[in-house]
Amino acid sequence: MIEIKTPAEVEAMRPAGRFVASVLTALEHAAEVGVNLLDLDALAHQMIRDAGATSCYIDYHPSFGASPFGKVLCTSVNDAVLHGLPHDYRLKDGDLLSVDFAVAVDGWVSDSALSVVVGTPREEDLRLIETTQQALAAGIEQARAGNKLGDISAAIGEVSRAAGYAVNTQFGGHGVGREMHGDPHVANDGRKGRGLRLQPGLVIAIEPWLMRGTDRIFTDPDGWTLRSADGSRGAHSEHTIAITDGEPVVFTARD
């Protein structure tokens, strides 16, 4: 069911967005060569405890997951492109790391993701990350009352394909509220003028993710981590936003 938030509820969602943004900023600074993925997860877990927030991931067990997730971050490295389960791995020079994070604060959820290169960057990795950011910005620009959901999806797809990347539509954005994942599904490609008419109070996560050489994925033996079918690297950018009578509100914007 698609939920429309009241203006008061939209305001009540802001603290969760600010907190998610602050954690991702801390993780971006902490992601250095030699740092263990489990240490990043522990840092986020401590920040959650200190804030009195609630992880959306640790007990999460959807139909596509092999078991409850058990960690508070998704940490996807190189050809791991989504849902990366933190494990005993130390970041190496040149690794492309994507971090996805969602929590509830006072019962309201925010969800966001970013990708960074650890140490020495490859030009093709920076271009991949930049394209996901540009696609996210294009999607947010279309997130206005009176537009259609397909306008968001089409904008993401146009930016991605213009940069030479294929688009996987199995996983994408989603409604956000008291739970992390709700209706509507926000695909990363689509047709303008199609689908749900956007109205003030709709809160969604928009999350383009791309792989450099393919649009196909497979599930790692850990039952969670999704990897590119050809071993190419992936990047992921995500914000939780609210449709308003004017400009979209980006709850998870980082300084």
Numbered residues of the known binding site: 83, 100, 111, 174, 181, 207, 238
Tokens of residue 233, six digits = 């690297």
Residues that constitute the known binding site for a divalent metal cation:
100, 111, 174, 207, 238
CA distances 202 to 129, 145, 188, Å, are 27, 9, 18
Residues that constitute the known binding site for substrate:
83, 181
- Give CA–CA dist 129/148, Å, rounded: 26
Alpha helices in the chain (DSSP H): 7-12, 14-30, 37-51, 123-141, 149-162
CA distances 47 to 60, 128, 162, 197, 237, Å, are 19, 29, 39, 37, 21
Tokens of residue 174, six digits = 């989603």
- Say whether 229 sits in a helix, a strand or coil: coil
Tokens of residue 45, six digits = 């877990």
The C-alpha R_g of the chain, in whole angstroms, comes to: 17
Q: For strand 173-175 and strand 203-206, is the pairing parallel, antiparallel, or unpaired?
A: antiparallel
Q: Are 204 and 145 in contact (CB under 8 A)?
A: no
